[in-house]
Amino acid sequence: MNIALLSNTYWPFTGGVPVAVDTLANELMAMGHRVIIITFTDADGRDDPDYVYRISFVNFPGLLNSGLKISCRNQWLWNLFWLLDTSLGGRVAVSAREQIRDVIDKESIDVIHVNQPFGLGTQALKLAREEGIPCVYTFHTQYEHYLKGILVENPLISSIISHHSYRFANKSDYVIAPSEAIKELLIRHRVTSPIKVIPTGVRVHTDTGGQAVRKTLGINNNTKVFISVSRLSAAKNVDKIIHAFSSIHSIKPDTHLLVVGDGKQRKSLEKKAGKLGVANAITFTGNIPRKELWGYYAASDIFLFASRYESQGIVLTEAMAFGLPVICLDIRAARETLEGTGAFLVDTVDEMIEKGIQLLEDKYLMSEISRRSRQRAKAFDPQSLARSVFNIYESLSRHPVGIPYFQHSPVQSWEA
């Protein structure tokens, strides 16, 4: 089967969606299928494999940063402008549908699989309807939450985001939800397209040793290392992790925190670490290539996670594969992912501090949670999960597809 995966974000951009797209593509190719990835031109493409196609775009922020003055009296209109900017990743496709059509025709694509309801996703769904090609949509992101902190709080903007996401799901032939929590959310918003829960599979190299990373960073072998892996943005709550670690470090000085990832909050987080007196006990690594990331997990002892909104939490699965006990903010998707591991789900910074110290003082508990975590990670075998996705493709190829894109959607909910 010839399969096209479309995503507004792909390498060198780091995040859960590029990981999900890359993992699925590799597993489907290993099964003998032809897979192409269509994305935007973030990179020059010289290092791309031949199955990656990049679509031209105009950079919205480039206009805003060029000195162009834009006046808008209505705050919600200004917010809407930023919504369009942000939801497209700061890009507007130039003749995207025709560029996508050229690739689809060239590769004789049988199934289109989109990963965002904006940008390339919108154009791909319209094209799928025109060409009679099945279209699958993975609902990775709750945009009404993801964009908080970027947009001024506005019920209308939140409703627009929410409505479009769920309307798009209803226009798709099949929707994949990464967790039961997301499936329930879709049903609550009256999505009537078929929905199947298939989390993102994770293939990690757990035979990677962590000693080289510790040596490079100057961390003693006896030091207990906490690690956080995420984008450094407000929604990820990394400031809470730094606050918790500072208290743990004051009680257990032979500890260190690795903050893996980058983002707009990095400078403010580094300042916070300095103010709390733990700058020397925290290493901000920036973005780490995935091939090197495994060494950072292997060098660590405990995983900290404080994100408010997750559809699955891929990094939780990665941490489990390395046998790391997890202390995590208590959200529904995390509960699903970590089920049966004995991981600590907390509501406050004080609880995170308490559980961190408890783990450091109880070697048996650390060992037991580590064992359970490795066992649980096997449920996220990427090959078996990719087969589940392919079964959806195969079922759609046997049945007529397509609701005209501009036909009225049954979604009526305008809830945020």
Do the domain assignments include residue 99?
Answer: yes
Tell me if 123 is assigned to some domain: yes
The pLDDT assigned to 113 comes to 98
Same domain membership, residue 91 and residue 16: yes
Is residue 206 domain-resident?
no
What's the domain count of the chain?
A: 2
Residues of the chain with pLDDT under 70: 42-46, 57-95, 144-158, 400-416
Task: Take residue 347 and report the two structure tokens written for it.
Answer: 């509501």
Confidence at residue 82, expressed as pLDDT on a 0 to 100 scale: 46
Q: What integer pLDDT is reported at residue 206 of this predicted model?
A: 81
Same domain, 9 and 155: yes
Q: Is residue 260 part of a domain?
A: yes
Q: State whether 147 and 10 are in the same domain.
A: yes
Shared domain check, 43 and 104 = yes
Instruction: Say if residue 142 is in the same domain as residue 232.
Output: no
What is residue 148's predicted lDDT score, i.e. its pLDDT? 57
Q: What is the structure's pLDDT at 28? A: 98
| The pLDDT of residue 275 | 97
Residue 411 pLDDT: 39
Structure-block tokens of residue 399: 């049945």
- Look at residue 353 and tell me if it is in a domain: yes
Sheet-wide strand order for 135-138: 52-55, 34-40, 2-6, 111-114, 135-138, 174-177, 195-197
CA distances to 55, 319, 358, 405 from 5, in Å: 13, 26, 44, 19
Structural domain containing residue 363: 211-379
The CATH number linked to 287 is 3.40.50.2000
> Do 185 and 221 sit in the same domain of this protein?
no
Asked, for residue 413, whether it belongs to a domain, the answer is no
Whether residue 344 is contained in a domain is answered as yes
Are 174 and 269 within one domain? no
Give the sign of the dihedral formed by CA 203, CA 209, CA 215, CA 219. Answer: positive
Evaluate whether 118 touches 147 at the Cβ level (below 8 Å).
Answer: no
Domain identity same for 68 and 156: yes
172 and 319 co-located in one domain? no
Alpha-carbon Rg of the chain, whole angstroms? Answer: 22
Residues 334 and 191 both lie in one domain: no
CA–CA separation, 23 and 384 (whole Å): 12
Q: What is the pLDDT of residues 263-313, one digit of tens each?
A: 989 999 999 999 999 999 999 999 999 889 999 999 999 999 999 888 888
| Residue 150 and residue 216 in one domain | no
For 398, other C-beta atoms within 10 Å of its C-beta total: 7
Query: Residue 187 falls within a domain, yes or no?
Result: yes
Same domain, 366 and 387: no
The answer to whether the beta carbons of residues 402 and 130 sit under 8 Å apart is no
Distance CA 26, CA 23 (A): 5
